[in-house]
Amino acid sequence: MAKIASSFLDISYLDSLSRLQSPIHRLDPRVKVIATALYLISVVSFGKYEITGLIPFFVYPIVLIALGDLPLVYLLKKILIAAPFAFFIGMFNPLIDRAVVMHLGPIGISGGWISFVSIMLRFVLTVGAVLALIASTGFASICMSLEKMGVPNVFAVQLLFLYRYIFVLIDEASRMVRARSLRVFEKRGMGFSVFISMIGQLLLRALDRAQRIHRAMRCRGFDGEIRMTRPLAFCRRDGVFVLGWSALFVLMRLYDIPQWMGERITGLIG
C-alpha cells in the first residue's frame, strides 16, 4: 500500500514540476514535442554496435534539465525504476553474440557486450529526454499540442483522460488494498484469488465511473470533441529552439563527433 501511495505522490510531483517557470517551461509545447521526437528517432536509428556516436546526445536532456531547473536526482531515480526493462532486453546479447570485435589492451570485447552497452545508453537517453519533456511541459499540454499537430482527437483525449484518472484509480486501489490489509491476519486472505477478485472489482468500479463521467460530459454538451482554450503562441524563440536542436541532431546522427574530435587531437599530437 505504502508503495502505491508513494508512487502516486511521485506522479503528482512530476506534475507539479511542469508548473515551474523557466525558459524551457515557457517554450511552446509543440516545439518541445517535435524536438524530442526528432531526438528519439536519431538516437534509436543508430546501428546496434554504436556507442561513441550516442555520447553527444546527452547534451539534449542535460540542457533541458539544467535550463528547466529540474531536479536531476529525482529524474535519475525515475530512470532507474524503468531500467530493468532495458536490462532484460539486452542481457542475452553478451551470451549470444560472442565474436570479439575489439581489443582493449589484452581484453577482447565481444559484440554482445557492445550492443548491450549501446542498448542501455539509448535507454537512458530516450527515457531521460521524455521525462525531461514531461517535467518541463506537463502531460496535459503535451496531449494538447499533439492534438494541435494533427494527432487524431480520440488519441489525445484518451491520453488526457488516462492521466487525469490515474490519480483517482490509484486512490481507489489504495483504499481497497488498505481495506483488505486491515482484515488480513497471519497472511490469510492475502492469496491470489483475493487479488484477482480485487482487480475485477477495480475494473467494475472503473467502468461505473467511466459511465458517470461520460454522463457528466454529455450534460455539458460533449459531442466527441474536446475543445481547449490554452492559447499557443509560436514565437521566434520557439523557432530557434526547434530548428537549432533539429540541426544538431541531424549533425550528430550523420557525423561521429567524438571520433572526429579524437582524430583531430591525435593528428595534432602526431
Partner 1 sequence: MSHHIVELKDLHYTYPDGNAALHGVSFRITHGETVAIVGANGAGKSTILLHLNGCLIPETGTVRIGDFPLTRKTLDHVRRTVGMVFQDPDDQLFMPSVYEDVAFGPLNLGLPPEDVAERVTQALTTVGALHLKDRPPYRLSGGEKRSVAIASVLSMSPSILVMDEPTSNLDPKSRRQLIQLLKTFAHTIILATHDLDMVLDLCARTIVLKKGRVEADGSTSDILQNAVLLESCRLEKPFALQACPICSPVPSGNNSILQSKQHAKHNHL
d(CA 227, CA 149): 14
Q: How far is the CB of 165 from partner 1 (least distance, A)?
A: 8
Site string for partner 1, 113-152 (x = CB under 8 A): -------------------------xxx------------
Strands of 105-154, DSSP E: 107-110
Cβ distance to partner 1 smaller for residue 67 or 228: 228
Contact pick of 3, 103, 183, 227 for partner 1 (by CB under 8 A): 227
62's grid cell: 542535460
Cβ distance to partner 1 smaller for residue 83 or 157: 157
Instruction: Give residue for cell 524551457.
Output: 24
221 binds partner 1 (CB under 8 A): yes
Cross-strand bridge partners of residue 185: 188
* Binding region for partner 1 (CB under 8 A) out of 42-50, 162-170, 182-190, 194-202: 162-170
| Nearby residues of 153 by Cβ (< 8 Å), 6 or more positions away | 147, 224, 225, 226
17 binds partner 1 (CB under 8 A): no
Count of CB atoms situated within 10 Å of the CB of 107: 8
Q: How far is the CB of 204 from partner 1 (least distance, A)?
A: 14
223 binds partner 1 (CB under 8 A): yes
164 binds partner 1 (CB under 8 A): yes
| Nearby residues of 91 by Cβ (< 8 Å), 6 or more positions away | 116
Cβ distance to partner 1 smaller for residue 7 or 12: 12
Cross-strand bridge partners of residue 104: 107
217 binds partner 1 (CB under 8 A): yes
* Binding region for partner 1 (CB under 8 A) out of 20-28, 61-69, 102-110, 216-224: 216-224
* Binding region for partner 1 (CB under 8 A) out of 38-46, 69-77, 225-233, 243-251: 225-233
Task: Compute the C-alpha angle 239/243/248, nearest 5°.
Answer: 150
Handedness of CA 170, 173, 179, 181 (dihedral sign): negative
b/e code 92-102 from CB counts within 10 Å (16+ = b): ebbeebeeeee
160 binds partner 1 (CB under 8 A): yes
What does the binding site for partner 1 look like in residue numbers (CB under 8 A)? Answer: 12, 15, 19, 138-140, 160-161, 163-165, 167-168, 209, 212-213, 215-223, 226-230
